[in-house]
Amino acid sequence: MSASVIAAVLDRLVTLTGVDAAFFDEAPMSNASGGIPEFPYVILHDDGTTPDYTEEYECVESTRLRVEVYANASNLESTVRLVKYGAGAYNAKQGMDFCHASLTVTGQSILSVVRQNEQRYLEKQRDGAGLLVYRCTISYLIQANLTA
């Protein structure tokens, strides 16, 4: 069980994608061995959490986040698919899309995980083989009910 929604999502991204690295907020300039991080990799951005209250004074928190996938053209779509759907069918809830039952956070019950937006960009860098690098940004809204 994770201490926060962001920690739970970061753990899930590492498990889902099988990439060597998933980073929070930005990728480091070098990996543990001193080289440039290998593509593909994933960066998670926290876009903030907003509380809302029901008539019964129950707190529902809405967390917005962005997942950025960096990869060359040959593996961008497969890595994006792993983030969204996992290794299964699109409706099997194995990826980030609709995975509310799989995210476990201390003191919170996840109500929904909904993909809001998806955009692709060409980056101004190349991978180790000289291939162009692309970025796909996927935005999610996660709503959680505080339980304790």
Q: What is the pLDDT of residue 70?
A: 94
Q: Is the pLDDT of residue 142 over 80?
A: yes
The structure tokens listed for 106 are 């201390």
Greater model confidence, 28 or 104: 104
Query: Vertex 117, ends 38 and 27: CA angle to 5°?
Result: 25
Whether 38 contacts 128, CB under 8 Å: yes
pLDDT digits (tens, 9 = 90+) for 70-95: 999 999 999 999 999 988 888 888 88
pLDDT digits (tens, 9 = 90+) for 34-61: 777 788 999 999 999 999 988 888 899 9
**Strand, helix or coil at 143?**
strand
Name the nearest CA neighbour of 143 among 62, 66, 51, 52.
Answer: 62
Mean pLDDT of the chain: 89
Judged against a pLDDT cut of 70, whether residue 20 lies above it is answered with: no
Q: What is the predicted pLDDT for the residue at 53? A: 87
In the beta sheet, which residues pair with residue 69?
Answer: 42, 136
The span from the CA of 41 to the CA of 131, in Å, is 15
Q: Does residue 19 carry a pLDDT above 90?
A: no
d(CA 117, CA 125): 24
CB 116 within 8 A of CB 139: yes
Query: Average pLDDT in the 13-32 region?
Result: 80
